[in-house]
Structure 1
């Protein structure tokens, strides 16, 4: 991992687990502590990466998108995002809060689609250039609960289901197992029970971030 003055926190999980809401809560908390915060998302986060996102998630294409095309587009967007937004922010000393990062690619395209994890690791090295999250919050809930929330939200907002959200429940079960496998493998993960009421989930999230703040403070003093 490259050493930078800032902190890189990623928020992961399946559909409907409350990532966006909790990112905003963390951003407000950090800003109240006088910390400069950049809130961003993947795929996306820059004009070029957002255009790639639109193609990735578009429900209807003139031709089917192959799984490998999907994977490569994810990393094309990520390479642009890292170079244009994430790395500069961290070098300035900002805290970057990102809605999804490479762990989502491993879970969705690796575990979900069944693409080679070795190939994903090679693309990761190329696209990230040593940038890794300092902390990853995995908001976890059973697939039926998360998908129920996501579809209810889409219905309330009259949003069209995107290409990935339209996958079968069995796909999302594999994705969830991928996330949980990553959480067991990497100490930077903190698993948050996203089945609890939103206020309780946010309380858990803010406690983890407070611990990270204290850790950063101790590093600065040592």
Structure 2
């Protein structure tokens, strides 16, 4: 009887040990796999940051490069992952990608409450939600800016002009059309309205941006894809 009880106890103990060991082994393998995937993703994200920072620095877009450096530093120190789309976006888009070069402007964040012009305290206002996360070519109000655009992928390019310049735009900006219900303003005494226009381009197209009116023509730059 005692022998039988001992045999049963040994069997139960062996059974529990066997299944417990298998469960732990499976769990450990899952942990190792998870840590490996996290490590690989971390390396890829840091590499993407480094590549983007080099690109924006080479373009002279220092404010954007510094912004990405700050995000990278926060990720390294706190492990905070930036919002998707700030570095890499996998969402297909109808927007073209392009490189803008020239003088008399700088690229800044296109958000309500930020300066519309380098030499004025007028603030951007009423920006449509569809342009959240975009940037723009900020220039001095009343001054000329020289902008050349090299299109790198097919799609629409967006620009903004003063509403008062629409007649002039119809003559000089051939092919550009109004973006439906898209406008914004800046906080001058008259709260001047800016209208957003767009035109489809193909990869390889190159064009100069006609500067119209006191505000000039502002290019709107989508988040990096």
TM-score, normalised to structure 1's length?
A: 0.24
Largest Rg, 1 or 2: 2
Greater relative CO, 1 or 2 (CA 8 Å, sep 6+) = 1
Higher helix share: 1
TM-score, normalisation: structure 2: 0.24
The structure with more strand, counted as a fraction of residues: 2
